[in-house]
Chains A and B, each alone.
Chain A
């Protein structure tokens, strides 16, 4: 006999999550072929009849989420079921599994879970891939219309960048927050992470920044969070009139949900824009001194070439290929997955080297590292930047790098700046303050 019945009207069932594993699963959830989830409680064994008995009841994801967050007991699910309750007997002899309907009137005749039985979050064993998530992000329009796909992807990108940035702690593993599944409605995304504890701490840190506007700058500096990243997220929420609710799957690490967009965020956004904190993510700072080789890599990608170091002169290994593609990413010429961007295409179609450098001088100034360096130096364009400040700028504003790597990246900034400074095109700039 298997613990799960095989021959009932519920059809083929598989484990979803196990909540109590005491000499075999005693309380758990299962999923049928139609994706319906059932909560299951062991009612006892009848040795003489070679049978075990169980109470099954269908449960919605919303209710199961609440159950995991200990908002009510397991007993409550059976006392107030969403649909039917089934009493199922499984046998260790040849008998066929039995299913009986339980009515409200005769419910008390069965062995029900006691009031004190709540799910213990740290004992949950995830069995189904779909159940392997850590947080729930609800994106809702204030007007009750559905959020469009652009809003959803922007929020997901922006929020993940912030949380991942706050999760960085010097260990070797790269922090990740990723979507696992989505449920229609307002728009509910199930998010997974490779480190639930760190992600929960990061979310709490984000909440503490948002709830203490007075000390914004200090907090951003302490937590080394780029104010522009946070501003981007709040901007999307504000512009598109959204509300965000981020809830944990269980309360092990994060006790309460966090909310964004319930109040008007304009004042917060302005404060972030004025923030004096300058921080750039290390992935946005290049490490490839030879800019001509970066151009060559982009040209090769335009032709659809798969990059192998053996084919590229002056590059000795795959790691160096990655440094160059990452450098192209920092200038917005390639995407992270090495596909070419429209800016990259535009670069390749510039006919002369001079034109390419002029174009790249623009890209330099508008890149995250270039703009941050200008802001840090309190100057308006790259001709005013001083190469010898590169190392100090990186020390002050780039997080998550070793001293050796900081020096290495500084040499890249210096060589790019020296090469491109003379190629910056002059713009018509307003000289008269009165006209501002």
Chain B
């Protein structure tokens, strides 16, 4: 297993990112993407995806990660709740196994099923989480 000290983080990561409680990535996860097969753009960190959002201090570390979901049912439900093309209607669910060489992850305790993945320098999660589910 990759030791936490051996990860290399992108230059833009400020101190305190990833958070202390993050652990090496593992387990099956899912994400909504625009492209099939998924591209790098589908796995941009949240702050690049939504440069318009102003993050509060406690949310800043998570804005350097990408959101994935450990429960397929949760992500399927979201597509049902927001079915129009302007919502999630045109997006596709993909799944795949996280491995520790991708980076660190943190499973949210408040928002069940939500996992933040901090990709280390050179990691390509779009090549691993690419199995088309719907």
Q: In the complex the two chains form, is A123's CB within 8 Å of B111's CB?
A: yes
User: B58 interface residue, CB < 8 Å from A?
Assistant: no
The reply to whether B78 and A22 form a contact with Cβ atoms under 8 Å apart is yes
User: How many residues of chain A have a CB within 8 Å of chain B?
Assistant: 26
- B110–A125 contact, CB under 8 A? yes
- Complex Cα gap A252–B55 (Å): 31
Complex contacts, A207 vs chain B, CB 8 Å: none
At the interface, yes or no: A186 with Cβ under 8 Å from chain B? no
Contact of B53 (CB < 8 Å), options: A24, A117, A122:
A24
- How far is A21 from B87 in the complex, measured between Cα atoms in Å? 14
Q: Residue B81 contacts which of A53, A92, A114, A122 (CB distance < 8 angstroms)?
A: A114
Could you give, for residues 78-100 of chain B, a 1 whenever the CB lies within 8 Å of some chain A CB and a 0 otherwise? 10111111110000000000000
Smallest CB–CB gap between B116 and chain A, Å? 11
Complex-state Cα separation, A27 to B82, whole angstroms: 10
Contact B53 A111 (CB under 8 A): no
With the chains together, A50 CA to B50 CA distance in Å? 10
B40 at the interface (CB under 8 A from A): no
Q: Check B119 for interface membership: any CB of A closer than 8 A.
A: no
B53 & A2 in contact (Cβ 8 Å cutoff):
yes
Cβ 8 A contact of B82, one of A1, A44, A92, A125: A44
Interface residue? A102 (CB, 8 A): no
Nearest-Cβ distance from residue B36 to partner chain A, whole angstroms: 18
Chain B residues closer than 8 Å to A3, beta-carbon distance: 53
* A116 interface residue per 8 A CB criterion: yes
Q: Are A44 and B84 in contact (CB under 8 A)?
A: yes
Residues from chain B with a CB closer than 8 A to the CB of A370 are none
List which A36-80 residues lie within 8 A (CB) of chain B.
Answer: 42-46, 50, 53
Contact B81 A20 (CB under 8 A): yes
Check: A5 CB closer than 8 A to any chain B CB: no
Q: How far is the CA of A116 from the CA of B83 in the complex (A)?
A: 12
Closest Cβ of chain A to B130, distance in Å, is 19
| Complex interface bits, A112-135 against B, C-beta within 8 A gives 1, otherwise 0 | 011011000011010000000000
Once the chains bind, are A26 and B110 in contact (CB under 8 Å)? no
| Residue among B50, B67, B81, B111 with max Cβ neighbours from chain A (10 Å) | B81
Task: Tell me whether A44 and B111 are in contact (CB under 8 A).
Answer: no
* B52 on interface, CB distance cutoff 8 Å: yes
| A1 to B86 Cα, complex, angstroms | 18
Which chain A residues border B54 with CB–CB below 8 Å? Answer: 1-2
In the complex, the answer to whether B111 meets A21 with C-beta atoms within 8 Å is yes
A23 interfacial by beta-carbon distance below 8 Å: yes
Q: With A and B bound together, what is the CA distance between A24 and B87 in angstroms?
A: 13
Known: A27-B81, A50-B52. A45 touches B111 (CB 8 A): no
Task: Tell me the smallest distance from the CB of A139 to a CB of chain B, in Å.
Answer: 34
Indicate if the CB atoms of B51 and A92 lie closer than 8 Å: yes
B124 contacts A by Cβ under 8 Å: no
- Residues 166-211 of A contacting B (Cβ, < 8 Å): none
Per-position contact with B for A403-421: 1 when CB-CB < 8 Å, else 0? Answer: 0000000000000000000
List B residues 95-134 near A (Cβ within 8 Å): 110-112, 114
Residues of A within 8 A of B84 (CB): 43-44, 111
Partner of A24, one of B50, B74, B83, B86: B50
> A26 CA to B52 CA in the complex, in Å?
16
Contact mask for chain A residues 11-28; partner B; CB cutoff 8 A; 1 contact, 0 none:
000000000111110110
A53 and B86 contacting across the interface, CB-CB below 8 Å: yes
Compute how far the CA of A27 lies from the CA of B87 in the bound complex, rounded to whole angstroms: 12
Q: Are B50 and A44 closer than 8 Å at their CB atoms? A: no
Contact (A92, B78) CB under 8 Å given A21-B111, A43-B86, A123-B112:
no
Task: Please determine whether B86 and A45 come into contact, CB atoms closer than 8 angstroms.
Answer: yes
Q: In the complex, which of the residues B52, B53, B86 contacts A44, with contact meaning CB atoms closer than 8 Å?
A: B86
B-to-A contact residues, CB < 8 Å: 46, 50-54, 67, 74, 78, 80-87, 110-112, 114
Please provide the 7 A-B residue pairs with the shortest distance between their CB atoms, ordered closest to farther. A44-B86, A92-B52, A1-B52, A111-B84, A44-B87, A22-B78, A117-B81
Interchain residue pairs with CB less than 8 A apart (21)? A1-B52, A21-B111, A23-B67, A26-B78, A27-B81, A43-B84, A43-B86, A44-B82, A44-B84, A44-B86, A44-B87, A45-B87, A50-B52, A53-B86, A92-B51, A113-B81, A114-B83, A116-B80, A116-B81, A122-B112, A123-B112
